[in-house]
A and B are shown apart, each in its own frame.
Chain A
C-alpha cells in the first residue's frame, strides 16, 4: 500500500500520556468510613451467613421468635419454660436429679408410665418417705410443687418430662390433670412410695 497519506484525517500528535499523581487522601478516608459503615450493615442484616436466615429476619434468634407456637411445638416450649423455672432447680435441667436433693426423672419408671393418670398426683400431692427410682433408694420430701401451677402449665411440664432426655412416653393432657385434681379434692396429703405403687398408672 502506498505510504502517501490522503491526509484528510489529522496525523496524531502522539500517543496520550498520563500525569503522575498519588491517590488523594480524602478518598481513602471516605473509603475506610464506608467500609466501616458497610461492615456494621453486614453485621446487622447478614444473618451471620446462616443458610436459613432470609431477609427480613436478621438472625436465627429472630427467626425462632416467629416460629408458630401451637400444637406439639407450643406445648413443648411451654413445658420447658415451666420445668426450668420450677422443677429443674432440684431435679436438674437435664433431668438427672441430684443426690440428696431429688431423684432423676430421665429414665425413671415413675415418669415413663403407660398410663397418664398417676404422674400428675406427684406434683399435686407431694411425696414423702422411701421410694425406689431406677434401682436406687431415695428417702426425701417433696412438697406439692405443682399445686400452684395452672392445669395447662402442669400438663405441659409433665409432657415435657415424658418426652425429654431420652424418655419416650405419651403426653399428659389437661383433662388428666383436672381429673387428678378432682380426685385429690381439697386437702392434699403427701403420698409415700408404697401408696404410689398401689395406684393405677
Chain B
C-alpha cells in the first residue's frame, strides 16, 4: 500500500528517486538497441548481396554480427534490466533508491565500456570467443559498472521494511550474483595473459554463454514478469510453491546445460549437459504455470500496452526455453547443430523474451518515474505491433531454414551448396523481421529521448525562473 501512514514513503517519491539513474540506463539502452539492430541488418545484407561490404571489412558478417549481438545483450538488455531491477527493489522495499549517485556513475561507465567494445570488434580486435568478444578494457569497465549498480540494488533490498522476500527478489538477486560470477570468471580465464590451452577455452565460453543467455535472462526476465504480471492483472502471484521449485531447479539444473552434443570434448561433458537439459524442462513448466495462473482470465486484448508486452514476453520465454533445451537432446542436436536454428532460438530469447519484457517494463516505469504521460503513446503501440511481428518474422524463418539446412547436411549425397542454399530463402525472409524490429526500437528511442528532453526542459525553465524570481521580486513559478 502506498501512503498508508506518515512514516511510509509514497510511491511517487520512490519513483522520483529512480529518475536520474534509470534515465541514464534506459537512454543508453534504447540507443544501443537501435544501433544493434542496424548492425544486425548490415550483417544480414551479406546474404542478400555478399559483395556489398567487400571493401569495408568492418561491416562484413563476421564483424557486424558479433557487434550486433553484443550490442543487444550488453548495450540494451543488461542496462535496461539493471534499471528495472533498481526500480523493482525500490518499490518492493517501499524505500527510495539507496545511493542514487552510484548507478548514475555506473551507467556512464557501462555505456563507455559498450562503446569501446563495439568499436574494437568493428576494427577487428574481437577476442574470438562468442559473447565475450569485448577486449579486456571494455570487460573491466562493464564489470566495474555492474558491481556499482549491484551494490546500490542490494543496499536498496537491504533497506526493505517488510523482511519477507517477494519471489521477484529471489530471481533478481540471483541474477545479480550470476552475472558477477560468470562474467568475471570467464573473462579472467579467457582474456588473461595465460589462457587455458586448447578446447578448455571453448568449454568456458559455452559455460558462460549458457549461464548468460539462458539462465541469467530467465532469472531476470521471470523476476520482472513476476512483479509486473500480478500488478497488471490486479491479482496476487499464484502458486508460489511452483515458483520456489522453478527457481531452485532453474539455478541447479539450468546452469549445467551449454555443451553442444557434437563438441570435440570428452563424452562426459555433452552427456552432463543433455542430462541437465532434460531436467531443465521442469522449471520452465513450473514457471509457466505460475505465470499462466496469475494472468488467467485477463485475456489477450489488443491493448498494446505494457501488460501485453510482458505477456508476450513470458509466453516467448516458455517456447524459446523449451526449444533451447531441445537443442541438447542428442537426436535433435545431430540435425540442428551448426544450423540457423540455434541462431533463431538465441534471437527469440534476446528479442522475443528479454526484449519484450524489458520494453514493456520501460513503458510502465517511464511515466510513473517522470510523473508524466508518455509523449508519443501511438508510437508505443506501434512499438508493440512491430516488435511482435518483427520477432515472429525474424525468428520463425530462421528456425525453419535451420531445420531444413540440418536435414540436408545429414545426407552426404546433398552437396553443401544445396544444403546452405535451402536456408538462404528463409534467411532473406527474416531480414524483414529485423527491419520491423528496427522500426519498433526507433519508437522506443523516441519516447525515451523526448521524455528526457521534456524533463530537462522543465528543469531548465524551473532553474531559470528561480534565477529570475529575486530579480523580479515575485514568487517562483515553475
Task: Give A24 to B12 CA distance when docked, in angstroms.
Answer: 39
Residues of A within 8 A of B (CB): 1-3, 5-6, 8-9, 11-24, 27-28, 30-31, 34-35, 37-39, 41-42, 45-55, 57-58
Contact of A35 among B91, B167, B270, B279 (CB under 8 A): B279
Q: What's the minimum C-beta distance from B236 to chain A, rounded to whole angstroms?
A: 5
Q: What's the minimum C-beta distance from A39 to chain B, rounded to whole angstroms?
A: 8
Given the known A-B contacts A18-B243, A27-B245, are A41 and B282 also in contact in the complex, defined by CB atoms under 8 Å? no
Interface check B417, CB cutoff 8 A: no
Contact present for B92 and A24 (CB under 8 Å): no
Contact of B261 among A21, A24, A42, A55 (CB under 8 A): A55
Interface check B275, CB cutoff 8 A: yes
Contact present for B266 and A52 (CB under 8 Å): yes
Contact present for B371 and A5 (CB under 8 Å): yes
Give the residues in chain B near A12, CB-CB below 8 Å. 2, 11, 231, 368
Give the residues in chain B near A49, CB-CB below 8 Å. 266, 268
Q: What's the minimum C-beta distance from B402 to chain A, rounded to whole angstroms?
A: 22
Q: What's the minimum C-beta distance from A37 to chain B, rounded to whole angstroms?
A: 8
Contact of A18 among B167, B245, B271 (CB under 8 A): B167
Give the residues in chain A near B282, CB-CB below 8 Å. 27, 30-31, 34
- B235-269 vs A, CB cutoff 8 Å, 1 = contact: the mask equals 01111111111000100000000000110111110
Task: Give A41 to B434 CA distance when docked, in angstroms.
Answer: 40
Task: Give A12 to B478 CA distance when docked, in angstroms.
Answer: 27
Task: List, sorted by A's number, 26 A–B pairs whose CB atoms are closer than 8 Å.
Answer: A1-B371, A11-B2, A15-B91, A16-B227, A17-B230, A17-B236, A18-B230, A19-B236, A19-B237, A19-B239, A20-B240, A21-B239, A21-B242, A23-B242, A27-B242, A27-B245, A31-B249, A34-B279, A38-B278, A41-B274, A46-B272, A47-B271, A50-B268, A55-B261, A55-B262, A57-B267
Give the residues in chain A near B368, CB-CB below 8 Å. 9, 12
Task: Give A23 to B248 CA distance when docked, in angstroms.
Answer: 11
Give the residues in chain B near A39, CB-CB below 8 Å. 275
Q: What's the minimum C-beta distance from B311 to chain A, rounded to whole angstroms?
A: 15
Give the residues in chain A near B11, CB-CB below 8 Å. 11-12
Interface check B286, CB cutoff 8 A: yes
Number of B interface residues at 8 Å Cβ cutoff, please give it: 49
Given the known A-B contacts A9-B367, A31-B282, A34-B282, are A21 and B240 also in contact in the complex, defined by CB atoms under 8 Å? yes
Interface check B53, CB cutoff 8 A: no
- B165-209 vs A, CB cutoff 8 Å, 1 = contact: the mask equals 011000000000000000000000000000000000000000000
Contact of A45 among B236, B271, B278 (CB under 8 A): B271
Give the residues in chain B near A8, CB-CB below 8 Å. 367, 372-373
Task: Give A13 to B238 CA distance when docked, in angstroms.
Answer: 18
Q: What's the minimum C-beta distance from B75 to chain A, rounded to whole angstroms?
A: 28
Contact present for A6 and B373 (CB under 8 Å): yes
Give the residues in chain B near A35, CB-CB below 8 Å. 279
In the complex, residue of chain B having the shortest beta-carbon distance to the beta carbon of A4: B371
Contact present for B241 and A22 (CB under 8 Å): yes
Give the residues in chain A near B2, CB-CB below 8 Å. 11-12, 14
Give the residues in chain B near A20, CB-CB below 8 Å. 240
Interface check B60, CB cutoff 8 A: no
Contact present for A24 and B275 (CB under 8 Å): no
Contact present for A41 and B271 (CB under 8 Å): yes
Contact present for B92 and A46 (CB under 8 Å): no
Interface check B16, CB cutoff 8 A: yes
Most buried by B among A47, A52, A57: A47
Given the known A-B contacts A6-B373, A34-B278, are A24 and B241 also in contact in the complex, defined by CB atoms under 8 Å? yes
Give the residues in chain A near B302, CB-CB below 8 Å. none
Contact present for A14 and B1 (CB under 8 Å): yes
In the complex, residue of chain A having the shortest beta-carbon distance to the beta carbon of B230: A16
In the complex, residue of chain A having the shortest beta-carbon distance to the beta carbon of B285: A27
Interface check B461, CB cutoff 8 A: no
Q: What's the minimum C-beta distance from A1 to chain B, rounded to whole angstroms?
A: 6
Give the residues in chain A near B286, CB-CB below 8 Å. 27
Give the residues in chain A near B478, CB-CB below 8 Å. 2
Q: What's the minimum C-beta distance from A15 to chain B, rounded to whole angstroms?
A: 6
